[in-house]
Amino acid sequence: MSWNILPQWLLPEQWRSEAQERGLDESGSKAGPPELGKSDGNPPQPTKQGLPESESTPKARPTGTDEVPTFSLNGHDSEERPKPTNPVEAKSMFPAANSAQRASAMPPPPRPASKPANSTSMGLMPPPSRPAVAQRGPPPSAAASLRAPATGPLPNRGPPANSQQRASGGLSPNGAITPNARGKVLLSPGHSPMDWAALTRTGNLAGVSTFQRVTPSQLRSMTGRKGKPAWSSWQGKVYNISPYLPFHPGGEAELMKAAGRGGTKLFMDVHPWVNWENMLTTCLVGVLVPENHGMGEGESSLEDMD
């Protein structure tokens, strides 16, 4: 038991009387007269009267220092632990002053990183809050995914081609429908480049059932007006550009400049990087041929068909 290391005047009444009965002092040996532990509530006076010569601990004789004996239920520990003399050591009792942990140069074990209280007290910012998980709706359909190009020009979505916004809008001071510096227009919904790509996969957009030989006069008549389709030739190939008009990022008016004629130079002046051949594959009408190709009178077989 560790009660025997305490001064008698610090012991509870019950223990004090017990110690007196056993006649033990703090070292466990037979003590002197029982008046040592009188229960008058006052600490014993530092007098040698009544104390045996063998008594050497300060329990019954305060030394005047501020040390307060520690109390532990484990009597062995309290008796074996050396009393700290350094005030710093006195505050930090773990690891023990003479332990291997103190003697070695090993750093202390790392603190757990995920303690917000610790990180705050260390002056560190708390970890950033995780971004909210994007609200995802049902998986997009195949057609919808086609409308969101991962690369290439962003689809221009905006008011319909014949709307008031298209007619008067845009950043151009002269009223042209060119809302950006590059002259792109706002395409009506459902007319993005990906929509066009999806449309071209649906089938033939040429407007003719068979491959045609187109003469220049024939081509000139296909202006996209008066109920006729708009044809244009690029490098000897004739395309029906009517279906592409609402999809053209440069606007219908720009594209219509090539209607009924060769559009190579116009095209190459503006965007030589555009792969028109791929884009217009299903719009291919035929090839451009000399005016009197296959005709004695210079008449066009297509004109006859109309």
- Name the site residues for ligand HEM (rule: CB under 6 A): 153, 182-184, 241, 244, 248-250, 254-255, 257-258, 263, 266-267, 270-271, 274, 276, 279-280
- Cα 249 from Cα 134, distance rounded (Å): 31
Of the two residues 9 and 267, which places its CB atom closer to ligand HEM in the complex? 267
**Least CB distance to ligand HEM at residue 249 (A):** 4
* Smallest distance, ligand HEM to C-beta of residue 197, A: 11
206-240 burial code (b ≥16 CB/10 A, e <16)? bebeeebbbbbebbebbbbeeeebbbbbbeebbbb
- Residue whose beta carbon is closest to ligand HEM: 250
Which helix (H) or strand (E) segment is 284 a member of? strand 284-288
What is the bridge-based pairing of β-strands 231-234 and 261-262?
parallel
Q: Which is nearer to ligand HEM, 52 or 183 (CB)?
A: 183
Query: Given the complex with ligand HEM, which of 90 and 171 has the nearer CB atom?
Result: 171
In whole angstroms, how close is the CB of 137 to ligand HEM at the nearest point?
Answer: 29
CB 111 within 8 A of CB 120: no
Please state the closest distance from residue 114 (CB atom) to ligand HEM, in A. Answer: 49
For ligand HEM, the closer of residues 241 and 288 by Cβ is 241
Q: Could you give the C-alpha distances from 23 to 27, 31, 36, 169, in angstroms and in order?
A: 11, 6, 10, 109
For residue 240, the cross-strand partners are 231
Query: Closer to ligand HEM at the Cβ: 37 or 263?
Result: 263
Interatomic CA distance for residues 276 and 62, integer angstroms: 104
Shortest distance (Å) from residue 231 CB to ligand HEM: 10
Q: Which two tokens stand for residue 19?
A: 């110690």
- The smaller minimum CB distance to ligand HEM, of residues 11 and 255, is found at 255
Q: Minimum distance between the CB of residue 109 and ligand HEM, rounded to whole angstroms?
A: 60
